Chains A and B, each alone.
Chain A
Amino acid sequence: MRSAITSEYRKFFTTRTWGVLVAVMAAGFFVGTFLISWLFAGQTSGSGPGGVDTARPYLFGIGASMGYIFPVIVGALAVTAEYRYSTIVPTFLGEPRRWVAMVAKVVAAVPMGFLIGVVGTVACIAGTGLGFIVGGGAAGIFTLDTLTLAGLSVLTHTVWALVGVGLGMLVTSQVGVIIAVLAFTQLVEPVLRVGMSVFSATQGIPKFLPGAAADALAGGHSVYAALSTGVTDQLTIWQGGLVLAAYGVAFGVLGYFLRIRRNVA
């Protein structure tokens, strides 16, 4: 197991993909949060509705609630890039117990998700803080609340990376996984979350969707939750973490039986 984990790290750091992804993510989060907070700071002030203090946690958490596509893709790439370039073959030659090879990918994804989480979270907080300052407000970065949110944001990114590994095992196709993640996170889930919250029969379901669970884990300040007017039905931090992790486990177990055990050529 240890050799498989070491091998995973080396795979990760010897290609340029992850560096590009992390750089794009950091730049995107920073610029995005900077622009939004700048606008906010210019228009309103104080702690009233729509004010800086209300907006701040949402902006700090934008990485965890909207930018999770990055850790998901980095996690998924650990599997799909190997299928894409057939390097899964030497991987399975070196570790013929395929479940061990997969568990090694999951373990290796933890520090990578953490790293991405730190970079993404710092980018969001820095962008937001700078935006408020430039707009003439208070950055408000070093409040206790912020630090808790930042910690939860990093944790959320990490769990998303694990979900990514599971998803990669289930889909195995590089293009497939990117399309699936984009379609689900940017279209299907937001529509479901807002749509289902309208009807009383389905109101209880959206909070169990992966994105909603992640929002709960990240501290509950989700842009989507704020958009679904009136509905504040969310899981607790713990429940959110467990539900999100359960998605990863379910994808991974399904993927193992449906894909990973298959012949490789």
Chain B
Amino acid sequence: MGFMITIEHLSKSYGSLAAVDDLSFTVKPGRVTGFLGPNGAGKTTTLRMATNLIHPDRGRVTFGGQPYRQLTKPFTHVGMALEPAVFHPGRTALNHLLMLAPHAGAGRQRCEQVLGLVGLADAAGKRVGKFSLGMRGRLNLAAALLGDPDTLLLDEPVNGLDPEGIRWIRELLRGLAAEGRTILISSHLLSEVQQTVEAVVIIAHGRLVYEGGLAELEGLAGSAVDVRSESPAAVRGLAHAHGWTVREASDPAVVRIEGATPTEIGQAAMTAGIPLAGLTEHGADLESVFFALTEGQGGMR
């Protein structure tokens, strides 16, 4: 069973910039949690503070109640993949893992095993300096998995992976979470991890803006219906009469309505005698909720 990760009042400033600002949240075992925020939101800084690489100005991060530096053989408890990944370009992939292996209580066999697990078995003897971005990402993940930890912190693990790689890592992480491990993955794109995570923590400007299930976030998003009609003005009037929200659509013949199901809209239009040419329902538009939550406070600073 993975650790419960507790982040309490974590703060870190660089000069006048509050990179992380009184941030508190928890990460539960048994599921994949997405750690989201626009570029510069403070995700990497938070993960580095969690693992004792950066000293926070205030607050703390604990794994099952213990700070990282008090874990004995930390690699066997917490696997961390950093962004950007760091390697000595002259070392081979296998040697990179062998160098870390003593800390993870791993032998050569385990090193070869994790290389196989991330699909790098054939590149074991190749110098990392010659690796592609995606291969580096995979090796970074292999290093995090080396000590078979119950808790994984992965900073932008999807970066540089091709669609097949994204799908592969999704399966892998979901499988690991199903075994009861705690998995936190950061990303600046919700859509990138949407199909992988069950819970999300969203930060902007170093502050928490959302913590909860992905399903609840989808609830916040609601759904929209695109109504195609030869008299869009009449459709707009109908929406106003029912108190539905009207959004602009790119096609002038289409009116985008939020707050009603296609059936409700169809019935109301029939009653009002407005002929409709089509009704299309859109899934929850998570990306726009993400944007709404983080806009004006996140972004590059």
- Which positions in A face B, CB cutoff 8 Å? 2-4, 6-7, 10-11, 14-17, 81, 85-87, 89-90, 92-97, 263-265
Size class of the B contact interface (CB-based, 8 Å) = 20 to 34
In the complex, the chain A residue whose C-beta lies closest to that of B96 is A14
A-chain residues with CB within 8 Å of residue B80 when the two chains form the complex: 93
Q: Which 5 A-B pairs have the closest CB atoms?
A: A94-B103, A3-B102, A96-B69, A86-B86, A14-B95
Question: By the criterion CB–CB under 8 Å, are A90 and B53 in contact?
Answer: no
* CB–CB B54/A265 < 8 A: yes
B82 partner, pick from A89, A94, A263, beta carbons under 8 A: A89
The minimal Cβ–Cβ distance linking B72 to chain A, given in whole angstroms, is 10
> Is the C-beta of B240 less than 8 angstroms from some C-beta in chain A?
no
Write 9 A-B pairs (CB below 8 A) sorted by A numbering.
A4-B102, A15-B91, A16-B90, A85-B86, A87-B88, A89-B53, A90-B82, A94-B100, A265-B54
B123 → chain A closest CB, angstroms: 16
Known A-B contacts A92-B52, A93-B53, A263-B54; A85 and B87 likewise in contact (beta carbons under 8 Å): yes
Tell me which residues across on chain B come within 8 A of A7, comparing CB atoms: 99-103
Q: Answer yes or no: B35 CB below 8 A from chain A CBs.
A: no
The CA of A97 and the CA of B70, in the complex, are separated in Å by 9
Query: Given the known A-B contacts A3-B103, A11-B99, are A93 and B51 also in contact in the complex, defined by CB atoms under 8 Å?
Result: yes
Q: Would B73 and A3 count as touching, CB distance under 8 A?
A: yes
How far is A55 from B73 in the complex, measured between Cα atoms in Å? 54
B82 in contact with A14 (CB, 8 Å) = no
Q: Would A96 and B74 be within 8 Å (CB), given that A3-B103, A265-B54 are in contact?
A: yes
Contact of B48 among A11, A86, A265 (CB under 8 A): A265
Whole-angstrom distance between the alpha carbons of A160 and B95 in the complex?
28
Q: Is B290 interfacial (CB 8 A cutoff)?
A: no
Residue of chain A at shortest CB distance from B70: A96
| Chain A positions within 8 Å of B75 at CB level | 93-94
How near does chain A come to B98, taking the closest CB pair, in angstroms? 5
User: In the bound complex, do residue B90 and residue A264 qualify as a contact, i.e. CB atoms below 8 Å apart?
Assistant: no
Considering the complex, give the chain A residue whose CB is closest to the CB of B68. Answer: A96
* Among A95, A264, A265, contact of B103 (Cβ-Cβ < 8 Å): A95
Q: Does B89 contact A (CB under 8 A)?
A: yes
For residue B224, CB closer than 8 A to chain A, the reply is no
Contacts of A81 on B, CB cut-off 8 Å?
88
List the interface of chain B (C-beta within 8 A of A).
48, 51-55, 68-69, 71, 73-75, 80, 82, 86-92, 95, 98-105, 143
What A residues does B105 contact at CB under 8 A?
Answer: 3
A172–B15 Cα gap in the complex (Å)?
A: 24
Distance from B60 Cβ to chain A, minimum over Cβ atoms (Å) = 14
What is the CA–CA distance of A87 and B104 in the complex, to the nearest angstrom? 16
In the complex, chain A residues whose CB is within 8 Å of the CB of B100: 7, 90, 94
Contact of B52 among A11, A85, A96 (CB under 8 A): A96
Contacts of B99 in A (CB 8 A): 7, 10-11, 14
Do A263 and B74 form a contact, CB below 8 Å, given A10-B99, A87-B87?
Answer: no
* New contact pairs (18) apart from A3-B105, A10-B99, A81-B88, CB-CB < 8 Å: A4-B102, A7-B102, A10-B98, A85-B88, A85-B89, A87-B87, A87-B88, A90-B143, A93-B80, A93-B103, A94-B74, A94-B100, A96-B68, A96-B69, A263-B48, A263-B54, A263-B55, A264-B53
Asked if B98 and A90 sit within 8 Å, CB to CB, the answer is: no
* Shortest beta-carbon distance from B193 to chain A in Å: 23
Nearest-neighbor residue (CB-CB) of A10 within chain B: B99
Closest A residue to B45 by beta carbon equals A265
Query: A265 to nearest B CB, angstroms?
Result: 7
Across the interface, B102 reaches (CB within 8 A) one of A6, A14, A93, namely A6
Bound Cα distance from A86 to B85, whole angstroms: 9
Known A14-B99, A94-B104; judge A89-B86 contact (CB<8 A): yes
A69 to B80, CA, bound (A): 37
Of all chain B residues, the one with the shortest Cβ separation from A94 is B103
User: Measured between alpha carbons, how far is A7 from B73 in the docked complex, in Å?
Assistant: 13
Whole-angstrom distance between the Cβ of A5 and the nearest chain B Cβ: 8
Contacts of A6 in B (CB 8 A): 102
- Complex Cα spacing A89 to B87, Å: 10
**CB-CB < 8 A to B98: which residues of A?**
10, 14
Q: Assess the B95–A92 pair: CB atoms within 8 A.
A: no
Q: In the bound complex, do residue B53 and residue A14 qualify as a contact, i.e. CB atoms below 8 Å apart?
A: no
Give Cα distance in the complex from A87 to B95, angstroms: 13
User: How far, in Å, is B203 (CB) from chain A's closest CB?
Assistant: 18
Shortest C-beta distance, B263 to chain A (Å), equals 54
**Does B86 contact A93, Cβ atoms closer than 8 Å?**
no
| Chain B min CB distance to A15 (Å) | 5
Give the docked Cα–Cα distance between A14 and B90 (Å). 8
